[in-house]
Amino acid sequence: MADLYRQMSRIRVFEQMTQSLKEAGEIPGSIHLSIGQEAIPVGFCHELAEDDMVSATYRGHGWALAKGIPPTGIFAEMMGRDSSLNGGRGASLYFSSAAHNFLGENSIVGAGAPIATGAALSARNAGDGRVVVSTFGDGAMNQGVVLEALNIAVVMDLPILFVIENNVYSEMTPIVDMMRGESLASRAAGFGIHSYVIDGNDPLAVIGAASDAIDRARSGRGPTFIEATTVRLAGHYSGDAQQYRDAEELRVAWSDEPLVRLRRGADQATLDLYDTIDVDVTNELQKSLEEAKRLPTPDPSTAKRHLYAE
């Protein structure tokens, strides 16, 4: 439990520091925080092996950290520094790391799903037992390309997990105004995919689902679609004033977020341990941020590099 708490707290503090950096003018591009959704990446990455792959969205800092990417690299990408990840070209919403089998974030809604499905096809053909997690939001379920990816994954029995972070908003539009039907999982079930809904704020429920779906994928039984319900506690992006939701909705959500869940019912010794963990991760991340700030900006003469395939 303490390890799960540590991983989630590390993402939470990372995102809070990112918010402060943005407010201080240190991040030129936009940011999309995953505050409130930490249990999902932590639970899945807990069960993934190092050489398994993850494809995420612009709201992907938590997945990157949980997959083992050092925070210094992510801070540096966001600040446009010459980092060892993508040389400052990745920003908050497009960085990747082949060394960590992190296929990358993607800011085009739904675009990660076919990329991840291609990676799963490659893993199946190689017979190397690797599995892929393709994570995206509820809004992405209305992108045609996602539905195509679901279909091809199931007919080819590909080793992939579709992990949908259902935070009930697509930008500022609530899900009830965007789609009908019992659940996103029921829509995926129509494709013949093994699909279900889990409580995405409960790290243990997430771990259980991850473990089953990974077994299924590794043993050649094809994809699983997991709809993880959660709440985005920050705005959609850094400039979102959130007039579309009321204070009560957020108050209730803050009383049931993943870190509060682990603290609830814990004894005093455990609560003290969690407090120590919060301090530890803050110290670690502050060091990482200082390191990132010491990195230079990229050499301007390289600006046109990587624009075209050679």
Return the one option of Mg ion, ligand TPP, none that residue 152 interacts with (CB less than 5 to 8 A, by type).
none
Contacts of ligand TPP in 199-258 (CB under 6 A): 236
The residue behind tokens 């400039």 is: 239
First to last CA, the chain: 48
Q: Check: CB of residue 148 under 8 Å from CB of residue 114.
A: yes
Alpha-helix runs per DSSP H in 67-169: 71-78, 112-126, 144-155
Cβ neighbors of 268 (< 8 A, separation 6 or more) are: none
CB of 150 vs ligand TPP, minimal distance in Å: 15
* Interacting residues of 256 by C-beta distance below 8 A, sequence separation 6+: 201, 231
CA dist 270 and 263 (Å) reads 8
Give the one residue of 3, 50, 51, 171 binding ligand TPP; rule: CB under 6 A: 171
Least Å distance, CB 28 to Mg ion, is 25
Stretch of residues binding Mg ion (CB under 5 A), selected from 135-143, 212-220, 242-250, 265-273: 135-143
Partner from Mg ion, ligand TPP, none binding residue 108, C-beta < 5-8 Å depending on class = ligand TPP
Q: How far is the CB of 59 from Mg ion (least distance, A)?
A: 8
- Please identify which residue in 139, 200, 203, 222 interacts with ligand TPP, judged by CB under 6 A: 139
Cα separation values, 81 from 69, 76, 103, 178, Å: 16, 5, 20, 38
169 part of the interface to ligand TPP, by CB under 6 A: yes
109 binds ligand TPP (CB under 6 A): yes
Q: How far is it, in rounded angstroms, from Cα 104 to Cα 97?
A: 7
Residue from the set 62, 90, 112, 137 that interacts with ligand TPP by CB under 6 A: 137
Q: Which residues here bind Mg ion, judged by CB under 5 A?
A: 137-139, 167, 169
Q: Which residues here bind ligand TPP, judged by CB under 6 A?
A: 59, 107-109, 136-140, 165, 167, 169-171, 236
